[in-house]
Structures are given as C-alpha cells and as structure tokens.
Amino acid sequence: MSESSFRPLDFTALPIDETLKRARAFYESMNRRRTTRHFATTPVPREAIELAIRTAGTAPSGAHQQPWTFVAVSDPETKAAIREAAEREERAFYGGRAPKDWLDALAPLGTDEHKPHLTDAPWLVVVFRQAYGVDAHEQKRTFYYTMESVGIAVGFFIAAIHQMGLVTLTHTPNPMGFLADLLNRPANEKAFLILPVGYPARDARVPDIHRKNMDEIVAWL
C-alpha cells in the first residue's frame, strides 16, 4: 500500500543571465575551498555548527530515510579521547598496516600519525551513517543508498562551512570503530568520518596540489 501526499513546488525561475552569474560566483567560491589540517584554537559559536548541520540535513537521501547522525563535540576531554584513540590507530596504519601503494598515494598530502587538529579545532563533527533503521518496536528497517546519501549530506556540510568563512577537514581514521564506542552510538550507526571545524592556524599550509582540468573530468555527448 503506498501512501503519498503532494503539494506545489516552491520554485521561482531566474533570468538565465542571473543563473549564469550565480553559477560563476558559486564555482569561484568553491574553487577557493581547501581542505585544511592546521587549525587555530579560536572558538566558533555553536550556532554556526548547528546551521551547517541543518544544511547537511537538507540533502536528498535514498527513500528520504535521512540515514545520518551528526555528533558535534566541543568538550575538550571528549576531543582528547578521540585524538588518543585515532592516533593509536594511525600509528599502526603508518607503522606497517598500510600497504606501500597507499602510503605512496598519501605522500603528497604529508599526513602522518600525529592528529593535532583533533584537539586544536574547536569542534569535531563526527558523522555516523545509519546502516539500517530501528523502529519503535526495535524492528530493523532496511535503509537504501546510505553511503551515497551520507556522502551528499557531508558535501552540503563542507560547502556550508566554506560559505561561512571557516575551514574543515575530511578525516577518516582507519579503522573508525572506536568512535561509536567513545560516543555511545547505537549498533545501527557506523562512523563515516570526522569533520574538525574552525579557523585555520595563522601559519596553516596546504599541499601544492591541483585539481583536474575540465577535460579530465567530463565527457559531453
């Protein structure tokens, strides 16, 4: 039995020159975004994080199941516990667990087992993917396209943070199981990534790497 109810779309068409003007301005802004590993400890108000999470929550999702949970951490002790656990995993990763090909691919980024951003950044937003739903009777409900859905939501989050003049980092400690334990998440929630958010450190540096050209990322037919 399908149940649906519809209402009119709230949409105002723009003149095409306005569309192109906005398209250029948005691209130029997004093209200035850089992933940053060096954070200042400068505080960021909770409302900014809330608005980024609200923005992420506007993302489309498989069957509109919205299979995401954002855990926003500013408590210094919890951040320190996350850093300690992440660095333990990363020491094992860089110290032998990672295959050589992977370490070679990471070399231009200059990453290592030290993760000061996890305690420097004023906020850590830990994103969990709900691999399945749980109803009021503790019954499991299948969720669809959860990877795609959470990935899109994180994209919205990153764009929102950039738009507000802050920086973030898509940090994926490997493996990430410790996050569900430390943050007391239920069994259906799998850690997806950690997004430290804040201002860049005064001496923040980014790798001198470049984005692919248009002709490398598109085919027009």
The overall longest dimension of the chain from CA atoms, in Å, is 59
Closest C-alpha to 193, from 208, 173, 209: 173
How far is CA 98 from its chain centroid? 23
Nearer to ligand IYR, 90 or 120 (CB): 90
Nearest residue (CB) to ligand IYR, 117 versus 129:
117
Which spans of this chain sit near ligand IYR (rule: CB under 6 A)? 90, 93, 106, 109, 111, 171-174
The least CB distance from residue 32 to ligand IYR, in Å, is 20
* Whole-Å CA distances, 129 to 138, 141, 164, 188: 18, 14, 25, 8
Helix (H) or strand (E) holding 193: strand 189-198
What's 197-217 look like in SS3?
Answer: EECECCCCCCCCCCCCCHHHH
| Minimum distance, C-beta of residue 147 to ligand IYR, in the bound complex (Å) | 15
Q: Minimum Å distance from CB 152 to ligand IYR?
A: 19
State in angstroms the smallest separation of the CB of 86 from ligand IYR. Answer: 8
Minimum distance, C-beta of residue 26 to ligand IYR, in the bound complex (Å): 25
Cβ proximity to ligand IYR: between 67 and 173 the closer is: 173
Nearest to 81, CA basis, from 194, 217, 168, 202: 194
Nearer CB in complex with ligand IYR: 69/111: 111
